Amino acid sequence: MVSGAKVLIIDDEVATTEVFAKMLQMEGYDVSTAVDAASGLRAARATPFDAVLLDLVMPLLDGLDWLRQFRAAGSTTPVAIITGNLLIDDETVSELTHLGAIVRFKPVWAEDLVAITETLIEGNRRAHADA
């Protein structure tokens, strides 16, 4: 576990952000949330996070466009797309992966969420240690 690591959760479903935040806070993570992609993008640009957990389907700005903008701004923060959209096409998954995101599908249980978050953070720390 990476206690104290800063995690940003972006999902337009308030209940999802609250449940995910509670799960990670119980494991010692410092969690911030956003219930729309635009405010999540502002938060991610203003604060250095160790990981971002991002919904794919959101109004106005979806997760893919969010990730494009985030990477275009130069961020290398690890991102996991956690979506309930089981009809996601191969092209979208390919682009998300190309942009450095991992893709997981809801429902996500507590131990899965913690494992996903740990994978993101540990991978990022190893990459920076090797650089």
Q: Is residue 1 part of a domain?
A: no
Per-position pLDDT tens, the chain of length 131: 566 899 999 999 999 999 999 999 999 999 999 999 999 999 999 999 999 999 999 999 999 999 999 999 999 999 999 998 877 899 999 999 999 999 999 999 999 999 999 999 998 777 667 76
**pLDDT of the residue at 1:** 56
Residue 32 sits in a domain of what CATH number?
3.40.50.2300
**pLDDT of the residue at 30:** 96
**pLDDT of the residue at 4:** 84
Q: Is residue 114 part of a domain?
A: yes
**pLDDT of the residue at 7:** 97
Number of structural domains found in the chain: 1
Would you give the end-to-end CA distance of the chain in angstroms? 23
Q: Is residue 126 part of a domain?
A: yes
Among 34, 30, 45, 11, smallest CA distance to 117 is for 30
Q: φ, ψ for residue 130 (rounded to 5)? A: -80, -20
Burial 77-102 (b: 16+ CB within 10 A, else e): bbbbbbbebeebeeebeeebeeeebe
Q: Is residue 45 part of a domain?
A: yes
Q: Is residue 55 part of a domain?
A: yes
Q: Is residue 21 part of a domain?
A: yes
Q: Is residue 97 part of a domain?
A: yes
What is the domain range of residue 13? Answer: 6-130
**pLDDT of the residue at 126:** 72
